[in-house]
Structure 1
């Protein structure tokens, strides 16, 4: 750590010999040591627990130089404390490393979802760090269309992430069960998804795995973006280089990075990958089909890299030109010209959803369309 704002002896972790005694952090810095965004203060000490966020220089000033998720390794003999506070019930879903279960808080009866991660499934630190990254990101974000983080527990064999419960299931299952959505319903859901992604991008967070399976629904029809296991914090000087995502939703620039000998191979990618994934998701909302489909992975990636998709009449005969235009703007093979979340929120198709949600005087759609349409012309090759 060579930054001027970091002191030579910034802080001290005081670990007592008794495993039951708390670990404390003593701040010895000039510019500040923070636990969960709260400054300890030079010469002061504060208890730190597993799941707490330790940072040097305040995260609120967006000048954090180093930030760590603290894990007390002495907990190897600790019981699974969470069961003292929650009654854990039936399974809601499962992934590679985790199981999500329905639970209720004993003290209040509040219904929650608990993501249970088996530490033994982690083969290396990379996978573990990816899971802890999800915890760190969820702690710092608050948006009505993003699943809300509540608590974190750790034991010898498991990690527990307590999350807001979305009672309406996955958007993917809704499409599978009911088929394609009517345009008004699709627009309302997609507007919420865009709003959440715009919030993430404004806070330098890229989700990297947006798809209907990771969009949860509430019973009132509102959406909640979930599963931040692949999400990354970025800034203008930091590009991501990891090949990740679900194949059918992965952006061309990620595909290009994985092609040996690809000319002008990109050095990395940015938040635009989320916009591509949203384009694939919108296509699926309106048709119950994906724009890029093949059982041959090589052919699938070729189609994605070339932006080889279409609007067949049997799927799009009753879908508006504005909806197809937005899909075209999202499925732009060039990440530099691909529409951003901020601009997509002002697209003519989305403005209809926004005007319905907003009380008071309505924007004249004809005038709005005239002003915005100059920026959103679908590529001529898409018929």
Structure 2
């Protein structure tokens, strides 16, 4: 059961859904839907995303399931990524809330955030996995000073020219997290580190 559909972005649409577990309980999940241009792109992106199912880290959103589905209403294929739902929003909302209240994010929270994100990035980079789309809205708040990386992207989808053009044209805010080399479709662990530095700067300038 779909509970909410968030504002679509250049790389897809995020849904909040409630699914019944094997024990009969209701549990919330986030589902990212990414439109694919054809069956080949969908299959390649799905194959690349399979590695996300292997990630087990306290500061990384858990991926539960991946699948490709056909949407007859728009006659298109979609890659769907089912992931953990934090229930407490994301870092962009926290930053915006602090700015509206003219409050600072405490040094303790910033330090914990940085430690958790560096540890999470080190974990994925050791496995040759890059986030590719690191920004405040893709970092979940899971506690008072606890954060999780979320909404990873695949190389195939990030190199989709049309999606990339849309992302670049989304506005100055979206581009401010992007490492210079990513404008040429080049992604490495250094791109993630650059983006993390930009996020950190945003947190400290509330």
For this structure pair, what is the TM-score category when the shorter chain's length is used for normalisation? 0.7 to 0.9
The answer as to 2:57 corresponding to 1:137 is no
Residue equivalent to 1:210? 134
The answer on 1:284 being equivalent to 2:202 is: yes
Map residues 228-239 of structure 1 onto 2, 5 A cutoff: 228-230=152-154
> Structure 2: which 5+ residue stretches go unaligned?
72-77, 168-173
Q: 1:144: Cα distance to partner? A: 0.9
Summarize the Cα distance change of 1:130–1:217 in structure 2 as closer, same or farther, 3 Å threshold.
farther
- Greater strand content: 2
1:101 alignment counterpart? 16
- In structure 2, the CA distance between the partners of 1:279 and 1:154, relative to structure 1 (3 Å rule), is closer
Change (3 A) 1:229 1:127: farther
Cα distance between partner residues in 1 of 2:140 and 2:56:
16
Cα deviation 1:42-68 (Å, max 9, x = unaligned): xxxxxxxxxxxxxxxxxxxxxxxxxxx
Match of 1:164 among 84, 92, 96: 84
- Please report the RMSD computed on the Cα atoms of aligned residues, expressed in angstroms: 3.2
Contact 1:207 1:231 (C-alpha < 8 Å) held by counterparts: no
Q: Is the 8 A contact 2:109 2:145 kept in 1?
A: no
Aligned residue number for residue 171 of structure 2? none
Alpha-carbon distance in structure 2 between the residues aligned to 1:110 and 1:188: 32
CA contact (8 A) 1:134 1:228 kept: no
Higher deviation after alignment, 176-185 or 107-116: 107-116
Q: Secondary structure of 2:176's match?
A: helix
Instruction: Say whether 1:188 aligns with 2:106.
Output: no
Task: Please list the CA deviations of residues 123-172 of structure 1 after superposition, one character each: whole Å capped at 9, or x if unmatched.
Answer: 34575357525631311211111110112344443554322111111101
Counterpart of 1:270 in structure 2 is: 188
- Residue in 2 aligned with 1:250? 178
Q: Report which of the two structures shows the higher radius of gyration computed on alpha carbons.
A: 1
In structure 2, relative to structure 1, the CA distance for the partners of 1:140 and 1:241 (3 Å cut) is same
TM score, norm. by length of structure 2: 0.73
1:111 match: secondary structure: strand
**Structure with a larger share of its residues in helix:** 2
- Partner of 1:150, secondary structure, is strand
Structure 2 counterpart of 1:112: 28
Gaps of 5+ in 1: 1-86, 233-239, 259-267, 289-383
Task: Tell me by how many angstroms 1:253 deviates.
Answer: 3.3
User: Contact 2:56/2:62 (CA < 8 Å) preserved in 1?
Assistant: yes
Q: CA deviation at 1:211?
A: 0.9
Q: What residue number does 2:96 align with?
A: 176
Kept in 1: contact 2:59–2:147 (CA 8 A): yes
SS state at 1:194 partner? helix
TM-score by length of 1: 0.42
Deviations 1:106-133 (A, max 9, x none): 5432523141537xx4334575357525
